[in-house]
Structure 1
Amino acid sequence: MEVVGGVPFCIQTLVQAGLVEVPSQYIQPPESQPGSCRESSDSSIPIVDLLHIKTKHFGNVHEELSRACGEWGAFQVINHGVPKQLLDCMRSAGLSFFKEFPEDERDKYRCDLNSAASEGYGSKMLMKEDSVLDWRVYFDHHTLPLSRCNPMRWPDSHPHYRETVMEYSDHMKTLALKLLTLISESLGLPSSCIEEAVGEIFQNITVSFYPSCPQPELTLGLQAHSDMGAITLLIQDEVAGLQVLKDGQWLTVQPLSDAIVVLLGDQTEILSNGRYRSAVHKAITNAKNDRLSVATFHDPAKTTKTFPVAELINESSPPRYREVVYGDYVSSWYTKGPDGKRNIDGLLIHH
């Protein structure tokens, strides 16, 4: 078994071999371990029904979005236009890579361990050598713009794996742009304002696999953070594990098979001048079940400059964030580590 930085590359293989004790590299510090903060079984993150955008209740969608984005930074959407069959097929395709492909076949798609967010099969998110490892493995696909998309780099562990990812990518972009339009309108801005500020969409689709863990109280599948980009669309399998931080409590988002979880990213918080917030979230593990999620990230180009939208700035609401080049923001995020909202808080202007 290959060892990277003193620890086996694939925790999944150790679990399958009957691991009974978590390796030290995966043990979170006490303040980050599950249960260190208040937790609630309440799964009442907002649910927004997009069916209403075609009815006389269209205004209600703006109100619901305003509350969800302002108070939570996270919500679930239903009647979103993405076929449930495609959601199921994407989950099935992702699971096939981790559950049906032999380890030596998975290793052929190993990503560059020395480059953050490189495409392929990986296990480590941060560049820091001393960072605690997340209890997960993942496959990251570069899907948009098409100039950076090469499906031949993706596995063929499922009969229609590559076709499924491409179809899923198209539907996720359409939904992301629809949501950015609605978010703009809910802020009282022109429909295209946020979309134009984000610019050309750079999309990554990351399938994460969280093996069952013999000591889930010591580990995290994914440490607490807010996403660095504009908007993330996520689907889960039937195993709960995603948690969102609200008012000092971690709330578990109960999976809905036909819903898509929406997480606002830091760039949207900056553009809205803090009226809308990016969602701090994490993934927990459990002792009995493996878990799978698929996150689709929609980000600006690395050269894009992000700053609060001018229409939201006035005497009573001065700019809250400094301008930032997105590529610099990404470098900081991967180098320092996320640590909740550390990176966006570093851009705050103190009046």
Structure 2
Amino acid sequence: MPVSLLDEVREMSKEFFKLPLEEKEKYSSKGDDLEGYGNTNAVQRGSLNWNDKLHLQVYPEEKRQLLCWPENPQHFRTTLHEYSKKNLMILRTLLKAMARSLNLEEERFLELWGDENEDNTHARFNFYPRCPMSDQVVGLKPHGDGTAITMLLQDKEVEGLQVVKDDRWFRVPVIPHALTILVGDQMEIASNGVFKSPTHKAVVNPQYDRMSLAMLFIPSLDKEIGPLEELINEERPQLYKRLKDYGQVYTQSIPSGKRPIDMMKIN
């Protein structure tokens, strides 16, 4: 992917979130719909989420709600389309490599994800305004992604992503011209727990604004996701149930505060 495209995506993101509120609200989410502009500056389980978002479905193309796609900046739509195509190419390369690493057929994970005509890809632009009370708010509360894979374009200069390892939070460094790959819950399920979906959060900076763009790769709701038969054996029995539409489990788990993937485990 050209470095210039990464910089262009970052710049257009900043330009959009700098627009007057009445301009951004032209692309607002309608009702409970995820699509469009909005914010999650609300108290959830004792912590204040502090961010604005622009959530857009990019694949399948016929599902794009173009009324939510900004026309300001002028190049926004064409740039997002080009960036989405490049991300899909990277996804396919990544899934083949992940399958080979488990001694699976190269196309095995691609049978579950990677078809832009069936599977869903969403772009979530995040803007985290600077906050002098940064110790009292969180950009995005701790969570795991309900995706197969998330490709994250971080801010070029300001850190904010943190992940849990061994019950400790670790900062994820900014690498200006790289994408950060996060394994999602559905990949953990399909790999029968070999690949782990990390708990992560976004923190707010007291002095600087920060942006990120997450590309969320999710299988078609009609596809059944479960541990691949090749990865189930006596040493590693089946760890997760099989299901369609993991998004329903994800949504239902939010009030409980539990990680949705824990609801999929076979005791």
Fold shared per TM-score above 0.5: yes
- Equivalent residue, structure 1, for 2:146: 228
Letter in 1 for 2:250: W
Q: Is the 8 A contact 1:280 1:340 kept in 2?
A: no
> Secondary structure of 1:107's match?
helix
Match of 1:347 in 2: 264
CA distance in 2, matches of 1:180, 1:338: 32
Give distance in 1, aligned partners of 2:143 and 2:45. Answer: 18
SS at match of 1:274: coil
**Judging changes above 3 Å, is the alpha-carbon distance between structure 1 residues 281 and 130 closer, same or farther for their aligned structure 2 residues?**
closer
Q: SS state of the match for residue 17, structure 2?
A: helix
Q: Return the letter of the residue paired with 1:257.
A: P
Shift of 1:338: 8.3
Which of 92, 104, 107 is matched with 2:25 structurally? Answer: 107
1:304 Cα deviation after fit: 1.6
Distance 2:235 2:67 in 1: 53
Give distance in 2, aligned partners of 1:163 and 1:284.
30
- Give the drift of 1:125: 9.2
1:325-336 matches, within 5 Å, as 325=244, 327=245, 329-336=246-253
- Pick from 214, 225, 228 the counterpart of residue 306 of structure 1: 225
Tell me how far 1:86 sits from its aligned partner. Answer: 0.4
Q: Distance in 2 between matches of 1:240 and 1:144?
A: 29
Structure 1, unaligned runs of 5 or more: 1-81
- Aligned ranges 1:17-96 → 2 under 5 Å: 82-96=1-15
- Residues 96-135 of structure 1: pairs in structure 2 closer than 5 A: 96-99=15-18, 101-115=19-33, 118-124=34-40, 133-135=48-50
Q: C-alpha separation between the residues in 2 aligned to 1:113 and 1:129?
A: 19
Q: Work out the number of aligned pairs and report it.
A: 263
What RMSD, in angstroms, separates the aligned Cα atoms of the two structures? 2.1
Normalised by the length of structure 1, the TM-score is 0.71
Higher relative contact order (CA 8 A, sep 6+): 1
Shift of the alpha carbon at 1:347?
1.2
Counterpart secondary structure, 2:264: coil
Equivalent residue for 2:89, pick from 149, 153, 174: 174
CA distance in 2, matches of 1:285, 1:113: 27
- Please say if 1:190 is aligned against 2:105: yes
- The answer to whether the Cα contact below 8 Å between 1:208 and 1:294 also exists between their aligned partners in 2 is yes
- In the superposition, the TM-score normalised over structure 2's length comes to 0.92
Quote the offset at 1:183 in angstroms: 0.5
| Secondary structure in structure 2 of the residue aligned to 1:214 | coil
Q: Could you tell me which of 194, 197, 202 is aligned with 1:283? A: 202
What is the deviation of 1:215? 0.8
Q: Larger Rg: 1 or 2?
A: 1
- The residue that corresponds to 1:295 in the other structure is 214
Structure 1 residue 334 displacement after superposition = 2.3
Cα offset for 1:133? 4.5
Q: Cα 1:274–1:260, aligned 2, differ >3 Å: closer, same or farther?
A: same
Identity %: 36
